[in-house]
Each structure stands twice: as structure tokens, then as C-alpha cells.
Structure 1
């Protein structure tokens, strides 16, 4: 499963699991109810258990919906089985089940986690081609993928394109890009984003502030960090253990 094919092949080539109507086909109603119930819970011991289960559920008739398959794919993402998710997506497509914006966003996330953000953008192109509407999760995932690859300027540009296109970033979108900006030494840009969040109807949370406070402390700008800490408290945002750890470490570094 380590071989990644291009996204153009993703929806035409089949990843072959055992799909023959063998003795393993769940025929009785009780077995089918059990399988569908487990699919909805998406609770598996390990990857092998999940893959064996997949070989059973693709024999169900009627087939599970794409919404149910999304839960299954998300479980694999939780196990960091990104290559597997890409392969399973091909199989789901080969069964005649149409992807939706959620399954394709999961796929984009897997490509981004594998440092294949360009493939992620190819999936975005397919989303638009299919007449689906990308959402904030889709764009945030791609922004994070650019940040993972160290393409911070590209992430900022794409963020600006997202806003210019009329899409409203949420606090997670801001947190992804603020954190990336702080880690590459662009605190001033991060602070400007922080100031603009309220104007765009999205209030920062403790994660947003922690990223900038940590960056200040690492640059020995503890007084600036304490000022930001005070502003956060005045806004009614309770600090976390991470907030205090950053400030304590920053003060210790100054003696």
C-alpha cells in the first residue's frame, strides 16, 4: 500500500480486495445488523481488524452509504494509516459509491499528511469539477498541508484567496496559520491576523494566543508575552497549562 498513484488515476483504478461472493458473505439479517452497527461505531482493535472488516462490509447489500464509509475512513486516519485510506477510497469508488465533500476532504488530509500537498490540490480540482462545494475544512486542510511542507508564504496566499473567495475561516483555520507563522519567525504577521480575527467575526481562543505567547517567550520577549497574556485574560479566555508553561519557561530563560 506504499505506492501512491496520481489523483487522476484515483477514481479510475481499483484497489483489489477480496470481493468475491465467498462463504464469508454475511447472509443472515443478524450478521448484517452487527456489521452495520460496528461500521457506525468505527471501533477496531487494529488495522488488520479494520481491513478484515472492510472485506465483509463491501459484500453487504445494499452497500453502506458514503457517510458510513467516511466514519470508517476517519477511523483509519486516527490510526495514521494514510496510505490505506487512499487505497480504500479507490475501492469505494470502484463499488459505484460517489464521494462527497467529506470523503474527499479526508483524502486531501491524507495526501497532506504524506507531504503530497500537490495531490491534495488536485483533489480540490476534482471537487470543483464534480460540482461539489468545498468548505472551510477543505481549505484549512490544504493550508495545514502547505504549512507542513514549510510553504508558509503559499499558505498565507491561499488563506487570502480563501477569504477573497467569500469563504469564512474558522478559529482552527487561523490557529493553523498563526502557529506556522510563529514557528518561522513571522510573529508580526501572526499578530496582525490575531487583530483581524474579531473584525471577521471569528474570536481567537487559547490555542491562538498560546502560539504567539510561546513565540515571544522563545525570543526572550517575555514582557510582550505577559502583555498578550493580560489581554487574553481580559477577553475572558482562560489560560491553559501550556500558557503557563510557556511563560514560566520564558521567565526562567531571563533568570
Structure 2
């Protein structure tokens, strides 16, 4: 079209291509096409600018989005509610609700009325910041403007109360939703069940689960997994296993996360035969265990003092087509250190680097504490020097241990400058 000159592309043509580039995540290409559009004498409209600004915000390229916003206004194109809502969403994700409220007030001062979506973004961000009181004020402002809260609004409020541990207030929000005839879906119930579980009010979570089962809402895999996690965290693994069986009976198929939760609970309670059986059950269902699943099992075996079994499972990972990540190495290194096998831990540290899985600060701190606890201070000091050289630092637990040993004259005071540097 551009070469022939017989049919010139218009704003819709350019806008369609720009939208396609943005959908592919090619923000650079979309901005280049915007410039080409202007060079071709085709003036971009608000839709074109909104498309690029929204894409930049979604990809957390907020400075670029703000620059384009300023450029747009300098060319006499006025922003609309879509422009501001995209920017508010981006600002909320990166800079928080305080800066977003500045944009919100700027928008209102220009006579641009926010939509339900705009309000929901602000409510959700305030709640995630623990500012539920301010979120409620935004909801009141919504209703004053004749915009009724929807399921998304109420879910954000409920989640905010759960984060603060104000479970009775969260339950009131659910009751309000039901009384107003709002759509209460599985996601809504899961927020409250998760809140009860996190604050160890497991019996109330069970009552709510039973309430769901008697309503028109069908519990999904996420709800089952959340409640199982709650049972496991309070040591009620038998109830978690019963729920797992019930889930199967109701025709729901557990996913990798469900298995990870139950496996973690069994390992934490040192029910290793059941944990191994669960792993086999997972494999028999053609649901391939990932590195997270094996890391949970290796960690459980280490905590239970079964370091040899953990090492065998760790060594079998490559034959299963899995490469241990830094977290998995750290778990195995910690197991060796707790079992007094510091030589094995140091060998594993060297192996990590050889295999291109680079140790992090956590790796060094685990081994350093292990060496001190196993009365090997000179090796620990050498490793501290190596850690500092790589730009890592001693964490609170390591520092506390070293200070305690210094106070008991069990390590050389010459170590202090190293700790200061780290």
C-alpha cells in the first residue's frame, strides 16, 4: 500500500497494525509505526495512543507510557477515561495508590468521569496495601456517582480484610454480596476460605466449604487445594487426605499444586511412606512431577533426618529429566549441613557452579552456618570471604550466630571486619 501510492493507509489501517504489534508485546515496533504514521501524513487519534499507552503500562514500561501521554497532549489530543484508567492501572502496579490517586483527581478535575473498572483498580490496590478503610471510602465515592460495586469490588474488599486478619469483616462483605444478589462465585468463596486457613480458623473454613457445597456454586480444584493446605498447616493431614479422596469422588482432578500441598503436609508431619505413595499416584496419573514436587519431598526427608534417602532422590533427578535449581540445591545442602556432612555440602556447592546453577546468598549462608555449627570455623571464614567477594552478605541468622560465638570466644575476633563488609 505504501509503495504503490494508489491506496493510502488511513488511521484505521495503522491502528489495526499497531494493535496487532501491541498484542504481540512489540511495543518498540508499535511506537516506530506511530512515527511512520505521522510521517505519512496520517494523524493518530486517541484510540491509537490509548492502544500503545495501555500496552506499555501492562508491560510495566510506565516512564515510556507517561512520555507518550505528555506527547499526545502536546499535540492537542485530549485523554479520555480509557487513557487515564490504563495509566492508573500501571501506576498502581509500580508506584502504588498514592500516585494513582493524583492521576485520578487530575482526571476528575478535567470532567472525565471514572468507570467501574477505574474504581475497581483503585479499590484493589488500596486493599492490597492494607488500606481497607481508604478502599471503603472509594467505594462510597462510587455509589455517590451512581456506580454500583460489582463482584470484583467486593472480592477486593474481602481480600483486603483477610490480609489484615479481620475475618469477621470479610465475612460481612460476603453476606452483603449475597443480600444484594451479587454474583458470588468459587473465586469469592476461595478468598474467604483462604483467609480462614491462613489465620488458622480451619473449622470456620470447613463450615464455609460445606455452605458452598449446599449452594449452587460448585467447589473447584482451587478451593479443594486451599482447604487441604489449611488442614496440612495445622497438622490435620488425615482430614486433608479425606478431602483429596472426596475431590476425586466428585469428579475433580487434582493438579500439580494440589499434589504439592498434600505432599508438603505429609512430609512436614514425617509421613514419608504416604508421601512416596502420593508421588507414585501422581506419576501413575501421567501428571509429571516438576522440580518443586521433588524439592518438597527432598526437604521433608532432610528435616526427618533421612539424608541418605534425600540424597538418593536428589541424584535421581537427572534420570527423571529434571535439572535441580538453586532452591533444590539449597535444600539438599541444608540437609547435609544439618546431618553433619559439611564436606558433602561443599562438594555440592562446587557442583552447582560446574553445572551452571549459580549459588545465591542463601546458599552461602546455609553452608557457613553449617560449618560453624559443626565446629569448622576456619572453613567458614574462607567461605565468608568467598561470599563477600561475590557480592553476597551475611543474613540475620548467620550474623546472630557469629556474634554469639564471638561472645563465647569460640571464633577469632579478626572475623568482625569481614562481617562488617558483608
**TM-score when scaled to structure 1?**
0.80
- Aligned counterpart for 1:211 among listed residues 366, 370, 389: 366
Instruction: Indicate the RMSD between aligned Cα atoms, in angstroms.
Output: 2.5
Is contact 2:186–2:220 with CA below 8 Å preserved after alignment?
no
Mean CA deviation greater in 238-247 or 78-87: 78-87
Instruction: Indicate the residue corresponding to 2:336 in structure 1.
Output: 181
In 2, Cα distance between equivalents of 1:177 and 1:235: 22
Gaps of 5+ in 1: 1-26
In 1, Cα distance between equivalents of 2:374 and 2:386: 19
- Aligned counterpart for 2:398 among listed residues 237, 243, 247: 243
1:74 aligns with 2:74: no
- Aligned counterpart for 1:228 among listed residues 352, 371, 383: 383
Mean CA deviation greater in 160-169 or 76-85: 76-85
Instruction: Indicate the residue corresponding to 2:105 in structure 1.
Output: none
Deviations 1:190-243 (A, max 9, x none): 011111112333222233222211122123322221211111121122321112
Instruction: Indicate the residue corresponding to 1:116 in structure 2.
Output: 271
Instruction: Indicate the residue corresponding to 2:190 in structure 1.
Output: 39
What pairs up with 1:47-126 in 2 under 5 angstroms? 47-126=202-281
Larger radius of gyration: 2
How far does residue 36 in structure 1 lie from its aligned partner after superposition?
Answer: 3.6
In 2, Cα distance between equivalents of 1:196 and 1:57: 50
1:254 aligns with 2:410: yes
Deviations 1:8-39 (A, max 9, x none): xxxxxxxxxxxxxxxxxxx9894761764131
Deviations 1:40-73 (A, max 9, x none): 3511150111111111223344523213432333
Instruction: Indicate the residue corresponding to 1:134 in structure 2.
Output: 289
How far does residue 153 in structure 1 lie from its aligned partner after superposition?
Answer: 0.8
In 2, Cα distance between equivalents of 1:58 and 1:205: 46
Secondary structure of 2:195's aligned partner: coil
**TM-score when scaled to structure 2?**
0.50
Relative to structure 1, is the Cα distance of residues 80 and 238 closer, same or farther in structure 2, using a 3 angstrom cutoff?
farther
Mean CA deviation greater in 40-49 or 78-87: 78-87
Is contact 1:82–1:113 with CA below 8 Å preserved after alignment?
no
Which of structures 1 and 2 has the larger relative contact order (alpha carbons within 8 angstroms, sep 6+)? 1
What pairs up with 1:163-202 in 2 under 5 angstroms? 163-202=318-357
Mean CA deviation greater in 63-72 or 41-50: 63-72
Relative to structure 1, is the Cα distance of residues 60 and 104 closer, same or farther in structure 2, using a 3 angstrom cutoff?
farther
Instruction: Indicate the residue corresponding to 1:158 in structure 2.
Output: 313
How far does residue 171 in structure 1 lie from its aligned partner after superposition?
Answer: 2.2
Relative to structure 1, is the Cα distance of residues 95 and 119 closer, same or farther in structure 2, using a 3 angstrom cutoff?
same
In 2, Cα distance between equivalents of 1:228 and 1:73: 41
- Aligned counterpart for 1:148 among listed residues 300, 303, 306: 303
How far does residue 253 in structure 1 lie from its aligned partner after superposition?
Answer: 4.1
Is contact 2:337–2:370 with CA below 8 Å preserved after alignment?
yes
Relative to structure 1, is the Cα distance of residues 116 and 80 closer, same or farther in structure 2, using a 3 angstrom cutoff?
closer
In 2, Cα distance between equivalents of 1:200 and 1:77: 35
**Superposed structure 1 runs of 4+ greater than 4 Å apart:** none
